[in-house]
A and B are shown apart, each in its own frame.
Chain A
Amino acid sequence: MPTVCPRRDTSTTEWSVIKKFETSAGPVTVKRQCMHCLQPACTSACLTKAMYKTPEGPVTWRASKCMGCRYCMVSCPFDVPRFEYHSAVPKIQKCVMCFSRIEQGERPACVSNCPAEALTFGRRTELLDEARSRIYTAPDRYVHHIYGENEAGGTSWLYLSAVPFEEIGFRTDLGTTGYPMYTREFLYAVPLVLTIVPPFLLALNRATRRHEEAPETGGEG
């Protein structure tokens, strides 16, 4: 059994881990796993659509499509996808929010099995209402922030905390923009470049032509 400490991290075999932090309010344990972003960086990074955001919410991985480029790992703001480096047939491993259970109307295993009911499962809007009402009714128990409400455009996992989130290993510099938005402008420029640059180059080629030259010998190599 690995020790519960801040350094402990998810791995190819542990999709979800409990980290323990010494904070200003004493020791705090945090469960970390894939955040299942609303606009995931990994699915927009994936060039084979192996990373897939299901309509129900979980982000899953499809083996038959993945080519193992690991661009999802480069893009993920939470560093979640894990790659099997010591396999000839490597897989990407990450929490899939027990998608097969959710499909059958069950709750994820971690939620079902948590005896302290520290985890709740439901519709995101209702969970946000629940989180806000808890902060409102017990303003001294919680920092007034729901981590995941807006982080990286919003995530399916939402966290309430008694200590500031940076003290328990959460990145607070991710911004509130969905990650796919950061490459959108570039991708929008692609059809523009492909339609404007070629005629411009052709025009330039024609404009620089000397008069005595025959039209057909424009490019020769």
Chain B
Amino acid sequence: MTGGVVSIGRPNLTGEFGRFLRFLLQELRPKGPVLTPFNVITALIMLVSAVLLTIRFAFGIGSITNLSQEYPWGIWIGFDVITGVALAGGAYVMTFMVYILRMEKYHPIVRVTVLNGFLAYVFYAGALLLDLGRPWNVINPVIGNSFGVSSVLFLVAWHFMLYMLAQFVEFSPAVAEWLGWRRVRKVLMGMTLGAVIFGISLSILHQSGLGALYLMARTKVHPLWYSEFIPFLFVVSSVFAGLSMVIFEGSITHKVFHHRVGKVLHRTHDDIVMGLAKICAGAMLVYGFMQLLVLVHGQRWPYLSTGWGAWYLLEMLGFVAVPAVLYFIGFRRRDMKVVRVASVMALLGIVLNRLNISVIAFKWYAAVRYVPSWMEIVVTLGVLSAEIWVFRWIVNRMPVLDFDHGHQERPEQDWVPVRSVARGA
């Protein structure tokens, strides 16, 4: 009896599996021309990065970086991790707007934003591993034999891992649609709201946690950038950092992946960008005011007349106040160009702020300053290139940009599997 059931089931299963493998192999092949200038340059950067990382793991971190006893953290932490995570903040802000506040207007870009956030965490938080001197022990704070629960870094590390999981769950319906797994997709869909709520809570904590890392470096960061309010400033700035990245990436993605952009997103893209510009202007106003309060409250104005003061004013006026005003003007005049300029300037402002705290104004009194080596920069570009390649691979195959529907108007039968090979249909 039972043998009969198995003999019916078996050929079907293997057939399904064979089809699934063929589908994967077919999808792994590149789409479009291979030898483009972009591909050649980024491949070269990744190749050089691989060589450099081999040297680094064979001879130590000092063999390719300019890190020193004075500067234990360089751009691999200050830019890749601390700045990268701030710029990936768009995912939690966007899921909050779409799934919690149900701002349906932004639904068409939620998938690409979550994908960008997820990949940013995988690659930039992943870059943390390159910087670890003893990466084989990275498992220690995970498996529970050594829980350093009094450490802010312990919190940040755990939240990175859990948030990556949450983001993967948020994005997973797209994978299920790509594979044509109808039932799996339904289950994953049911998990979205939970993942979103969990993800937002985690994001608030680790975005602020990255700032809280510097609370014990209080005598090392220049007083203009150090304050006990760093965690708050980091969370608030991650809102417009993330959304500015969404605007900036969106403007590039829409040109490069024009063929993948769905009808609804194509129609509403400008509206979405204008809405985001308005939100950014508001968030930057709040952030600027908080910075002003911190400056006044800490009685730090005497520092403004120094060289560091000029550098601080450049960051606060040139790359916070000016882009905030530009966002506002761009929104009022519905001028895409102005909004794009504002987004680039706001992003530069975030890069400046995070680098000032972690590298530039860190040990501002040191006799020998840290300047990254060309090899550190190449590895950073290599990580960025790898991320773009994976992003491109996914966007060209899975329903990311052509995810048009808000969840209300999307009937259950309406979703179209991109490939239905796995179902054998």
Contacts and interface: CB of A to CB of B under 8 A. Distances in A.
Interface string A17-61: 000000000000000000000000101111111100000000000
A85 B68 CA distance: 8
A73 B132 contact: no
Contacts of B197: 198, 201-202, 205
A216 B205 CA distance: 28
Contacts of B96: 201
A173 B68 CA distance: 23
B173 interface: yes
Nearest to A85: B62
B140 A65 contact: yes
Contacts of A87: 60
Contact of A213 (B196, B212, B408): B408
Nearest to B151: A47
Q: Could you tell me the dominant secondary structure of chain B's interface residues? A: helix
Contacts of A209: 102
Interface residues on A, range: 35 or more
Given A65-B140, A68-B135, A74 B150 contact: no
Given A86-B63, A183-B215, A194-B201, A66 B134 contact: yes
A87 B65 CA distance: 13
A86 B150 contact: no
Contacts, number: 187
Nearest to B228: A182
Nearest to B170: A221
B141 interface: yes
Contact of A197 (B110, B137, B200): B200
Contact of A221 (B70, B192, B217): B192
A197 B58 CA distance: 45
A182 to B, nearest CB: 5
Contacts of A106: none
Q: Could you tell me the dominant secondary structure of chain A's interface residues? A: loop
A50 B152 contact: no
A71 to B, nearest CB: 5
A217 B409 CA distance: 11
Contacts of B218: 182
B213 interface: yes
Given A218-B193, A219-B193, A205 B99 contact: yes
A42 B107 CA distance: 45
Contacts of B213: 71, 74
Interface in B76-131: 96, 99-102, 110-111, 128, 131
A90 B205 contact: no
B20 interface: no
Nearest to A208: B102
Given A48-B137, A73-B69, A208-B101, A88 B57 contact: yes
B244 to A, nearest CB: 23
A180 B150 contact: yes
A77 interface: yes
B155 interface: yes
A221 to B, nearest CB: 5
B242 to A, nearest CB: 17
Contacts of A47: 141, 148, 151, 153-154, 157
30 contacts: A7-B367, A11-B69, A44-B151, A45-B151, A45-B153, A47-B148, A47-B157, A67-B133, A67-B134, A68-B137, A69-B132, A73-B69, A73-B72, A74-B73, A74-B220, A77-B219, A83-B69, A85-B61, A86-B62, A87-B60, A180-B216, A182-B215, A182-B216, A186-B215, A187-B155, A201-B200, A201-B201, A204-B100, A208-B100, A210-B408
Interface of B: 57-63, 65, 67-70, 72-73, 96, 99-102, 110-111, 128, 131-135, 137-138, 140-141, 146-148, 150-155, 157, 170, 173-174, 189-190, 192-194, 196-198, 200-201, 204-205, 208-209, 212-220, 228, 231, 367, 407-408, 410
- By Cβ-Cβ distance, the 10 closest A-B pairs, closest first, are A68-B133, A219-B193, A85-B62, A47-B154, A70-B72, A68-B134, A220-B407, A73-B72, A75-B216, A67-B137
